[in-house]
A and B are shown apart, each in its own frame.
Chain A
């Protein structure tokens, strides 16, 4: 009974999305790879010469690239882990809290939808060396006797940027875990209670194993978002400085491709960045599927 046009119905439905994605996402990414094999320079667009893998070769011998890669990894590992632990803690607190859970939860959700660039603004102001709130508080309490340039000192800039990211994204992990806690079956917990399990034992052997899939999902999403969000945040807070202290792959790409006009070189860096993140995404996705079956 199915007519010809009906068999193609689902394909008609997905066709616009497929064409659009191909034109505006897939093709540009392939084109970017092609550009990274040339000598393309933003100010000398006419002199396009094919140079093979020379840009990649230079990137791999560029000390600043390795610093940026190290910083990207460090940033991701630190913020994701801290956010998972703090998020779990906050979720357990909120779960036990008596009145006003709904309001508390609504207010919790506010910062996580902020554009990271806005979070960057708030914390650039907070950590400002002259009039920033943090220095103001520490000075009035007599903890320090002269203002500290949090964002202009190499030792404190990275922790300050991480702090801003943790501030924004801990509510995300917390809300995910809270959703998990609220939907946990009560029987295993009651059984543990009857068997005389201590609060720690209940958490360690009953709650934590049941939350494991959610922890993995939250970790996957945060690990993949980390680089993108960090770019916006760092561009506003430090621009990658001081002296590469907060330079990540994204900010280094911007510095080379746009600020220095070395477009092809920047394209090579961003291609490596993309292969690493997308590869990591596929790996985490496989793990996620494995955990489900």
Chain B
């Protein structure tokens, strides 16, 4: 009996070691990108590789964003502002639409409910270009090409089904008796929703908001089609600007990548509790 417990402990230790090795493999490419962004040119192109930078510089970031003494040579300030505004606005609108509809799906009976999960899955299955191409033609007619509003509208509707599905689950976790009690006390349906259910669902709403924000922040295919001016491009499309160049500026590209990365890591940290639920559209709680 004792030897078995000992063996179990050895197995557990071995598993930890393997898990750490897997983790190193997983995080190394990201580390390499981040450190490339702080390097001087000759260390970026060094052979054999310089494992730990000996000189650190912010010059790649200054190229993208400028500094008090220097003009930026690339419009990344605009790209950052665009990405930020688009993600925040579309996140907000899809939360409003999705919370209302999610409440309906969770508390009331009506037709088409069962196919909601299917519609979310279908939305994820539509190739970005299949939607981006017709939107380019339609948006040209109503002057929404190369505008942030066009992207915000599109992302809002792309994310809404996902938010509906998540919110349906979060509302289902709240006992319906609470808002029914409020109704008996004379609240209207809207008041019961606004004063009872929404405050109780607040953690779920913020988790859905972060997921929705990240989806917009990460989107590339549709933005690539719909935005062709520096004033309207988002960061992922800005990152793609580097690709066409004959000689790729790896320092600059890695700096742009690092800027995209930071909010993703921070926000991921906040929603890790809901990660499985979010990534499987609530299919697994």
Contact A108 B239 (CB under 8 A): no
- Say whether A13 faces chain B, with CB atoms less than 8 Å apart: yes
Is the C-beta of A43 less than 8 angstroms from some C-beta in chain B?
A: no
Q: How many B residues face the partner with a CB closer than 8 A?
A: 93
Q: A115 and B19: CB pair below 8 A?
A: no
Looking at chain B's contact residues, the main secondary structure is: helix
Residues of A within 8 A of B57 (CB): none
Looking at the assembled complex, report how far the CB atom of A109 sits from the nearest CB atom of chain B, in whole angstroms: 5
A111 CA to B225 CA, complexed, in Å: 26
**Interface membership of A271, Cβ < 8 A:** yes
Contact in complex: A228, B108 (CB < 8 Å): no
Contact at A110–B27, with CB atoms within 8 Å?
A: yes
Say whether A93 contacts B18, CB under 8 Å: yes
- Which chain A residues lie closer than 8 Å to B224 at the CB level? 235, 254
Task: State whether A217 touches B33 (Cβ < 8 A).
Answer: no
Indicate if B220 sits at the interface (CB-CB under 8 A): yes
CA A231 to CA B164, docked complex, whole Å: 26
State whether the Cβ of A106 lies closer than 8 Å to any Cβ in chain B.
Answer: yes
- A98 touches which one: B16, B97, B240 (CB < 8 A)? B16
Residues of A within 8 A of B118 (CB): 281-282, 285
A144 CB-CB contact with B under 8 Å: no
Measured between beta carbons, the chain A residues less than 8 angstroms from B219 are 115
Leading 9 A-B pairs by shortest Cβ distance: A115-B218, A32-B134, A10-B108, A13-B104, A28-B134, A96-B15, A98-B12, A10-B104, A270-B130
B interface with A by C-beta (< 8 Å): 9, 11-13, 15-16, 18-20, 22-23, 25-27, 29-30, 32-33, 36, 44-49, 97-98, 100-101, 103-105, 107-108, 110, 117-118, 121-131, 133-135, 137-138, 153-154, 156-158, 160-161, 164, 189, 214, 217-221, 224-225, 236, 239-240, 243, 250, 253-254, 257, 260-261, 264-265, 267-269, 272, 275-276, 279-281, 283-284
- 11 contacting pairs across A/B (C-beta < 8 A): A9-B108, A28-B134, A32-B131, A100-B16, A115-B219, A130-B45, A131-B44, A224-B124, A231-B128, A273-B127, A284-B121
Query: Which A positions have Cβ atoms within 8 angstroms of B?
Result: 6, 9-11, 13-14, 16-17, 20-21, 23-25, 28-29, 31-32, 35, 40, 90, 93-94, 96-100, 104-118, 121-123, 125-126, 128, 130-131, 133, 136-137, 139-140, 167, 171-172, 175-176, 179-180, 214, 217-218, 220-221, 224-225, 227-228, 231-232, 235-236, 239, 249-250, 253-254, 257-258, 263, 266-267, 270-271, 273-274, 277-278, 280-282, 284-285
